[in-house]
Amino acid sequence: MNSPLEWLAAALTIVAAGLIAANIGRRATGVAFILYTVAAAGWIVSALLNHTKPLAIQNGILLAIDVFGIWQYLLNPRKIREIDKLEEVASEIKEEVDEEIAAEGA
């Protein structure tokens, strides 16, 4: 197990995790789920070619979760509105916290 497909799947997984960890917004998280979906598909193909059934099953389940994530973050109109409103409030709160920290340091 050291094919270009596996390296690509591993790299996509790393990039997707980085996007989610960066917490830079709904669209970035949605893109991360797209990357996870492609990576999971790659791992499924690799697992089937290498007869590693547990890896195929694991990534089949992850693929379903990733597709749900795409729906939640990029396609579900209600969730998009909710998340956009939450991000607006979060931005205001971050500004308040920055001001509080600056005032404490002064």
Q: Do 3 and 44 lie in a common domain?
A: yes
Instruction: Give the closest residue to 87 by CA, choosing from 27, 18, 35, 36.
Output: 27
- Asked if the model's pLDDT at residue 106 lies above 80, the reply is no
Shared domain for 65 and 35, answered yes or no, is: yes
Output the pLDDT for position 20: 97
Q: What pTM, to 2 d.p., does this model score?
A: 0.81
Read off the pLDDT of residues 67-101 as tens digits, 9 standing for 90 and up.
999 999 999 999 889 988 998 898 899 999 999 99
- 64 and 84 part of one domain: no
pLDDT score at 63: 98
Structural domain that includes position 14 = 1-75
The torsion angle over the Cα atoms of residues 62, 2, 50 and 42, rounded to 10 degrees, is: 30
Q: Same structural domain for residues 11 and 60?
A: yes
Distance CA 29, CA 41 (A): 18
Reading the block at residue 62, the tokens are 């992850």
For residues 38 and 3, state if they share a domain. yes
Q: Note the pLDDT tens digit of each residue in 22-60.
A: 999 889 999 999 999 999 999 999 999 999 999 999 999
Select the more confidently predicted residue: 101 or 105.
Answer: 101
Q: 1 pLDDT exceeds 70? A: no
What mean pLDDT do residues 1-30 have? 94
Which ranges of the chain does DSSP label H, i.e. alpha helix? 4-22, 26-49, 53-70, 77-105
